[in-house]
Chain A
């Protein structure tokens, strides 16, 4: 036991735990405020929205940032969780009096069913890559939505009416966020996370190194869908009715905007971006009405384009390098602390896990083609 704590202590870096600390403190403060009546309902609702957005963004980041595959069907997994989890919850309410117990059970079941769908959609991911996979996930989301829309038992076009949990739902939601962070951060910072990033960096080499690519791709899709399903159940307890139109691919893209804004492969970034976008969204929806609501999407669009171009344009790389905050920081810091950033002098484990730029050289893969070159044929040789 003592050895265990020793090893925990050895690997301890404040940076890895900062998100837990910040969220816990935030949760305690806001819970106290809410329970003593210092926080109004609307703010509590906002917090619930932020919580499930964080769950969605972080779980999508696992697929996009770490596995390097684009999924446009995240809202589809959420849809599955929301409909089925809340359907179960509606039934459970009749036999279990405790609403918290109902919520927990339905979250687990809704997540598990979404995970099954994650497995199913992970299967094409084994054969398809890049654009094709993106379009398949998009198609999946739309298929799911259409099916729920046409089922009478789920309320059809009117949506599934659910029982709202109450405004203190955000407390439960943030606890779920914490649990999810434990799972996903620990996964990413382990040998399995390494295998997943290895697949992203170079799938062929990963296979040659004996990494079971099939297993890990499915695993990532399952975990990601599981948490998206849970977010769906939370959503269903927050808003009623659960309506198919909410889960359109526009919503999947909204989650993608959070991931991109927070920088792909950075979990802390996803958390901040999810909170920020949800907040802006919340403010805009109350302030903008009618056609001005499009302004929201305009902002998303600009965020997406600007961030991706600035981060990825090859021509901008040297400029970015020059202007990078980290570099500036090091320059200032370097005067006081010598060798801190000399890689050879770095302590183990200090290498950056987060903020690894996603780069799949699909272009190179596509442009390469094994073509029979006639000059090599054995027949030619005989002619000589």
Chain B
């Protein structure tokens, strides 16, 4: 049972990252490989603020600001010039950005893992099961963000413009939607979500290193794909599923060393059997 709860809380982190992936993929039609590394930057922002004797809340705020600005900056400098170029080019650039962030972080902060003590919650015991409070908080916040995001997209002008851009960029442009602005906002939201993810990440695993983001990033992408890329509830579902699978697999001694392999096999199988994911829409090529 506690394994399951652990899985849920890890899953909520994956879900937050996956939300960022799914939004960017759905609207900008690109796999933002550097998304995981934005989380890493967020964790360093928290580390730095705390080192300067900042209050934990200020640290979280700093992470959000740094990540959002960084996300928009990356979009403007690296991805925007490539709008309309081949997706292969965009993907390779995204990989380049990911490398860039990692190496810059390593040059500044060093390769070693550094401890972060953001906040410490005493675990609570509910019905004989010990549950860490941070797990509950991250789950609740994750769900809240998902609901807000869904409402935002459904009921605001900006949100509807986002749907329009994701459906048909050219037509949206003709309807007077500022596509570049919409994509920028998407990146800003996605990166802000990454900041939340890094907050919860350091709450659960209180340390950071330059490669912090790469594995969770890939796993969260897997989660987004499993849920159906472009779908917000899908990202949430996929993320939670991924977290639970990981924790359960880790708790079984025979499977534990193969956990990564298991998760990736899950990705390959889902992509082959149902490439649109659990909640995704089908797209068809027009001839």
Contacts and interface: CB of A to CB of B under 8 A. Distances in A.
Contacts of A309: 78, 81-82, 93
Contacts of B102: 294, 297
A359 interface: yes
B97 A301 contact: yes
A370 to B, nearest CB: 5
Interface string B270-284: 011001000000011
| Interface size range on A against B | 35 or more
A297 B170 contact: no
- Most chain A CB within a 10 A radius of its CB, from B261, B272, B287: B261
A294 B264 contact: no
B93 A308 contact: yes
Interface in B199-258: 210, 218, 221-222, 225, 257-258
A213 interface: no
A240 interface: no
A363 B169 CA distance: 10
A68 B91 CA distance: 13
A304 B99 contact: yes
A298 B104 contact: yes
B157 interface: no
A154 B122 CA distance: 43
A204 B287 contact: yes
B83 A304 contact: no
Interface in B73-110: 78, 81-89, 91-93, 95-100, 102-104, 106-107, 110
B87 A132 contact: no
Nearest to B166: A367
Given A139-B267, A147-B258, A312 B97 contact: no
A365 B285 contact: yes
B31 interface: yes
A384 B272 CA distance: 45
Contacts of A315: 81
Interface string A223-263: 00000000000000000000000000000010010001000
A298 B103 contact: yes
Contacts of B85: 312-314, 359
A368 B107 CA distance: 44
A253 B99 contact: yes
A313 B82 contact: yes
Nearest to B97: A305
Contacts of B218: 135, 138-139, 142
A132 B224 CA distance: 12
Contacts of A162: none
Contact of A136 (B25, B83, B267, B283): B267
Contacts of A300: 96, 99, 103
Interface string A55-68: 00000000010001
A295 to B, nearest CB: 7
A313 B91 CA distance: 13
Contacts of A139: 218, 222, 264-265, 267-268
A321 interface: no
- Most chain B CB within a 10 A radius of its CB, from A292, A305, A315: A305
Given A130-B91, A314-B83, A316-B81, A305 B96 contact: yes
A256 B92 contact: yes
A90 interface: no
Given A135-B221, A135-B225, A309-B82, A370 B99 contact: no
B84 A127 contact: no
Contacts of B31: 131, 134-135
Interface string A15-39: 0000000000000000000000000
Contacts of A253: 95, 99
Contacts of A138: 218
A360 B89 CA distance: 10
A308 B104 contact: no
A147 B99 CA distance: 26
Given A147-B261, A297-B99, A315-B81, A366 B283 contact: yes
Contact of B110 (A132, A291, A296, A365): A291
Given A131-B31, A312-B82, A304 B92 contact: yes
8 contacts: A123-B272, A124-B268, A134-B91, A136-B267, A146-B260, A292-B107, A301-B99, A358-B89
Given A139-B265, A304-B99, 12 more contacts: A131-B25, A131-B91, A134-B31, A135-B31, A139-B268, A143-B265, A256-B92, A304-B92, A305-B97, A308-B82, A358-B88, A369-B284
Interface of B: 25, 29-31, 78, 81-89, 91-93, 95-100, 102-104, 106-107, 110-111, 167-170, 210, 218, 221-222, 225, 257-258, 260-261, 264-265, 267-268, 271-272, 275, 283-287
